[in-house]
Amino acid sequence: MTTMTEASARFREFKMPDVGEGLTEAEILKWYVQPGDTVTDGQVVCEVETAKAAVELPIPFDGVVHELCFAEGTTVDVGQVIIAVDVAPGSGDAAAQAAPAPAAAEPEPAAEPEAPKGRQPVLVGYGVAESSTKRRARKGAERPAAAAAAIQGELNGRGPAVPESRPLAKPPVRKLAKDLGIDLATVVPTGEGGIITREDVHAAAMPAPAQAPVPAPVPATVPEPAVTATVPAAVPGARETRIPVKGVRKAIAQAMVGSAFTAPHVTEFVTVDVTRTMKLVAELKDDKDMAGVRVNPLLIIAKALLVAIKRNPEINAAWDEANQEIVQKHYVNLGIAAATPRGLIVPNIKDAQDKTLPQLAAALGELVATARDGRTSPAAMAGGTVTITNVGVFGVDTGTPILNPGESAILAVGAIKLQPWVHKGKVKPRQVTTLALSFDHRLIDGELGSKVLADVAAILEQPKRLITWA
């Protein structure tokens, strides 16, 4: 007869991990395994979609799949068991051991207090914290448990596990934080006894330097086919189709509402002759130093914005509502809005100000390719400072883009078209585009915003300024 201890030792459960940025749930997009399949440590078993990206989950142990706990398309909270694995196949009937018959009553030894578990280490991130209502263990029991957790974390390739305490907050406050996409672990509590209040959550939702960016409102850069996976098929004759709001679309909605009603937006426009820029693009395509990278107008526009920021560094900042401070950034993480089949995302190029033109071109190419394949990581979308959204790829002249939360400015680039233009006193056909710069009026005055937009336009009109102004 199989005992409960033997059965529990035989079957291991893999929980939905926190794949980054304090996310609380993820949707199972696809299972790569089925019950009965053999899995090995590190093998990808499923793909999940969070509010920020699609992520593949590897399992941290060997065995045979016993049960898939959720179907594809199900949204699962972090910490819930998603798959059970038989780690000792061949030890008898798995179904019988998974649900053993009740054994005869036997006197049980006195239970010893359990050591506090903290968050259980998994291969990707950590599971949810255990309930704080469990009885506190003796101090002597804490060290072995912590040591075991550290060893398991190292075996999983994540380093020693660090116990974390669960933030103190009432259920309504937790729900508010979840609705706003706020990780309570990042919120500074002001309530009595360290309790997080509703005001604390609202303050954390304000743009702040540490807040991870989420997609901008205007599609750009990577034109993609229409979404086909998550949109329910229309019923013949139906007058309406309802689509659940979740994943990336839910994050976009929350971020745009928060940004539009938090940061006072100002948008300025300028129309500029970019004929010389287009000639430069054509010349760079034949340059041996640019071999192997994609050269397009967006590359020159990105470089022009970086030079404009260098000349006007005050625009590269963020508003810290909690501390009532303006945080000047001495680095530029340049966001590029990208339309993908799952929605709009804004990955960014880290420390873009330090990159040469070939390096910037390579970074742009990698960013676009990764976004198109749906493999952009949450880390790639965190920490942006300024964003470019290229609506021109859709034939649109311009737009009034909404800021990414935590960022100070976003530049929209319209379509480049051949238009009549006064050049050297004569009307000639020239290649012209319209730029739109939205900025946070709390920290950027009209003069500063105008200077930045004018500098970008001047560089695109005379690209040699990339050298003289750099």
Catalytic residue positions, numbered: 441
* Structure-token pair, residue 21: 């940025």
The tokens 């672990």 sit on which residue? 185
Burial class from Cβ neighbours inside 10 Å (0-12, 13-18, 19+) for residue 300 reads buried
What CA–CA distance (Å, rounded) separates 339 from 47?
Answer: 20
Helix (H, G, I), strand (E, B) or coil at 164: coil
Look at the chain and count its residues. 470
Q: How far is residue 184's CA from residue 188's CA, in Å, rounded to a whole number?
A: 8
How far apart (Å, rounded) are the C-alpha atoms in residues 158 and 149? Answer: 11
Which residues are CB-neighbours of 235 under 8 A, at least 6 positions away? 241
How far out from the chain centre does Cα 379 lie? Answer: 6
Cβ–Cβ < 8 Å for 417, 393:
no
Q: What is the C-alpha to C-alpha distance for residues 26 and 435, in angstroms, rounded to an integer?
A: 37
SS3 category, 92: coil
Residue-by-residue DSSP string for 310-352: HHSGGGSEEEETTTTEEEE-SS--EEE-EEETTEEE--EETTG
In the numeric block, the tokens 């699609």 are attached to 54
Locus of tokens 């209502």:
133
Neighbours of 458 (CB within 10 A): 17
Residue 9 token pair: 């030792």
The structure tokens 């009965």 sit at 36
Residue 372 CB contacts under 8 Å (≥ 6 apart), including other chains = 222, 224, 338, 340
